[in-house]
Structures are given as structure tokens and as C-alpha cells.
Amino acid sequence: MNSTGQMKTWTLWKLLIFTFLQVGISGIVFIYIRVSVNLDLGVPILQPPKPLRSSLLVEEKISNLTILLWTWPFGVRSHIEKCSRLLGIPDCHITVKRSWYPKADAVLIHHFDLYGNPQRLPQEPRPLSQRWIWFNLESPTTYSVQSFLDSRFNLTMTYRRDSDIYIPYGWMDVLPQKQNVTIPPKSKLVAWAVSNWKPDSQRVKYYQELKKYLQVDIYGRHHLPLPRDQHLSTLSQYKFYLAFENSIHEDYITEKVWKNAFFSWAVPVVLGPPRKNYERHMPPESFIHIDDFPSAKELANFLHTLDRNTTRYESYFHWRSWLKPNGPTPWALMFCKACRALQENPGQYQTIPDLSKWFKQSR
């Protein structure tokens, strides 16, 4: 082979070697890019990246949160259930043993049980990052929020929809399929169960005017007896129930509607926050609001009209074909809602400077 042929052969080998090197380098770069893209997209690979392992450690830590119940609400012991069963979340360690205070991630403090006495709050220094949860089901009229509670709590847990942890007196569940509605037979017109009778209250004054035009059977202290085991069976005889709240505040819609009226299949006649507030919790055609009438006399006339018109009366039950009223919220579920809130926001640490002002105001 002459020198010219040798040169061509050598040039060809160099070209082949260069091509193989280019393909090899390109392959390595492609694999690197592919793995990087997969990691960005969250595509699993055989060996998880370090950030994923770190997140697993955080999740394991969250599942071991400890919540200390500073007191049993109203001093009444209740059963503590697993949050994994109630809400399908990792279980928190929920305890009433105050020896856990230095190690607790959160302390749940029931407003009624410390009312008016700052000495009933935890007196030991608060551990770093421990959160205090203010837990209250009472209205600010019944049990006011004193200024000594300002700048102490990190989370709110009340019936207010704008609370950090929302615990309503009742709620509506959507039925899996449409149901036929059968209204229980009714033999009486209007009932009202009331134990806290204050002659100068708005609800009693309204009743005093209403009774001039309408017969109302009153149950409770100093009135007709209403045994606990006959509560719903007695009220279910009535077409209407006066769900008059003892004070008027946003979202303060209590068992007077959810239990006394809805559970007994009586149409609630409500006195409380404005109609629009009720409609955030229940269908607009499920209740009658006193504000819809210029006077108690006009309301009485309307109830008499419904009593005589079966079709119009039954229209107040149409919503039951696709909704079911539920409540009250069990204590165990309230505790687990606090557990869930802590898990969902493990890094959240806020201080509520004006708790008293916030709870008094309306949105």
C-alpha cells in the first residue's frame, strides 16, 4: 500500500474514533438530562434523591405530634379516638396528662374552663415552637374574651368559619344518591325549648309579641317538661320550631337548628345572624327567618298559611332528597381536627395579638 492509501486509512480510523466518542458523550449527556428531568417531574427512580428522603423524615415526625388537652371541656371526660380512623390522617398523641407539657407540640385550651382567671392558663415557661390553641364554642356575649388572652394563642378553634380550625355545631352531608322524602306526621303547630329565660332578651321579647297571634308550646325550665329521652320524639310532633339563639353573632348557629329542628323534622324559624349567614350553612329554603317579615304578626300569619297549605309546607323539605343534616361535632373529632391542622401546617407559627377584638367583630 502506498503512502497515499495509508493516509486515507488513518484518516478513516480517526473519523470513526471521533464519531464513537461523540456518540458516547452524547449518550452520557442524554442520560444525565433524562434523569434530571425525571427528578423535576417527580418520576420515581430506583434510588430516591436525598430531598425525598428528607421529606419522609418530616412526615414521620409529623405523625408523632403530641397535643395536650389542658382540661376536659366543661370538666366532662370523653373518649379519645384514633385520628386515622376519624379523618384518615396519621395519629397524634392526644393526652390530658400535664406532665407532657414540656414535650407537647400544642396545648388545646378550652375557653369556658379558664374564663376570667389567667391563673388557669399554663404557668410554666412555654417550650420553643409549642403552639397554644384557643378552643371556644360559646358566643362572646355569653362568655366574653378578656384582654389577658391577647398575644398568647397561635391558633383559633371555634364555630366561626374564619377560624384556623373550624368546628361548627352542625353541617350538611351530600347524599350519595337522591332520596325519597317522607315527612313524619305532625299534629301540633309550634314548639320552643328554652332553659335560659331572660325577659329582657331579644328572643323573649319577640316571643311575647308573637304569642299574641300564634299558639307556641314552650318546653324547658319553668315550662313544660322535656325529658332527655323524649326530646326529639316530643318536638317531632310539631310543624315548626323556634330556633331562637340566645345572642346574635356571625356563624353562631347552634343545636337549636341542627338538633332541635332538623333532627325532629320541624321547620326552623330562626332568630340569629342575618339570613345570608344562615345560607352559608344550609339551603335557603330549609328555614324561615324572622327578618323576612316586617313584624311578628306577619310571621304568625305566614305560619298559619303554611299550616293550611300542605304543598307549600312540604316545599321546606325538598332539600332533604339530596342533603342530610349532621352534628353536633363529637369531642374526639374536634381534637382530631386540631391534629390535622398541625400536620398540614407544621411550620406555621403565628401569634394572635387581638383575640378579644377578632372574636367580637363580624366579617
Q: Please tell me whether residues 200 and 274 are part of one structural domain.
A: yes
Note the pLDDT tens digit of each residue in 67-82.
Answer: 999 999 999 999 999 9
pLDDT at res. 350: 86
User: Is 336 part of a structural domain of the chain?
Assistant: yes
Averaged pLDDT for residues 255-268 = 97
3-state secondary structure of 128: coil
Residue 203 in contact with residue 246, Cβ under 8 Å?
yes
Note the pLDDT tens digit of each residue in 269-316.
Answer: 999 999 999 999 999 999 999 999 999 999 999 999 999 999 999 999
Q: How far apart are CA 260 and CA 143, in angstroms?
A: 23
pLDDT at res. 59: 43
Residue 69 in contact with residue 335, Cβ under 8 Å?
yes
Q: Please tell me whether residues 255 and 186 are part of one structural domain.
A: yes
Q: How far apart are CA 122 and CA 42, in angstroms?
A: 45
Q: Please tell me whether residues 193 and 317 are part of one structural domain.
A: yes
Q: Please tell me whether residues 315 and 273 are part of one structural domain.
A: yes
Q: Please tell me whether residues 273 and 200 are part of one structural domain.
A: yes
Q: Please tell me whether residues 310 and 219 are part of one structural domain.
A: yes
Q: Please tell me whether residues 136 and 204 are part of one structural domain.
A: no
User: Is 222 part of a structural domain of the chain?
Assistant: yes
pLDDT at res. 54: 32
172 has pLDDT over 70: yes
Q: Please tell me whether residues 107 and 218 are part of one structural domain.
A: no
Note the pLDDT tens digit of each residue in 85-107.
Answer: 999 999 999 999 999 999 999 99
> Could you tell me which residue, 347 or 109, shows the higher pLDDT?
109
> Could you tell me which residue, 17 or 315, shows the higher pLDDT?
315
User: Is 40 part of a structural domain of the chain?
Assistant: no
Q: 288-289 and 267-271 as β-strands: parallel, antiparallel, unpaired?
A: parallel
Which ranges constitute the DSSP H helices of the chain?
3-41, 50-62, 83-86, 202-210, 231-235, 255, 275-279, 296-308, 310-314, 331-344, 355-360
User: Is 238 part of a structural domain of the chain?
Assistant: yes
Q: How far apart are CA 344 and CA 133, in angstroms?
A: 15
**Other CB atoms within 10 A of residue 302 CB:** 15
3-state secondary structure of 315: helix
User: Is 304 part of a structural domain of the chain?
Assistant: yes
Averaged pLDDT for residues 151-172 = 96
Task: Give Cβ neighbours of residue 167 (< 8 Å, ≥ 6 apart).
Answer: 137, 157, 158, 159, 329, 334, 337
Q: Please tell me whether residues 308 and 205 are part of one structural domain.
A: yes
How many structural domains are present in the chain? 2
56 has pLDDT over 70: no
Q: Please report which confidence band the pLDDT of residue 22 belongs to, taking 50, 70 and 90 as the band edges.
A: low
User: Is 73 part of a structural domain of the chain?
Assistant: yes
Which CATH number goes with the domain that contains 272?
3.40.50.11660
User: Is 39 part of a structural domain of the chain?
Assistant: no
Q: Please tell me whether residues 181 and 316 are part of one structural domain.
A: yes
The model carries a pTM of 0.80
User: Is 20 part of a structural domain of the chain?
Assistant: no
Least confident of 29-38, 71-80, 204-213, 262-271: 29-38
The H or E element that residue 66 is part of is: strand 66-69
Averaged pLDDT for residues 156-184 = 96
Q: Please tell me whether residues 186 and 304 are part of one structural domain.
A: yes
Q: Please tell me whether residues 81 and 161 are part of one structural domain.
A: yes
Catalytic residue list contains 124: no
Q: Identify the domain containing residue 278 by its residue range.
A: 171-326
Catalytic residue among 60, 81, 138, 279: 138
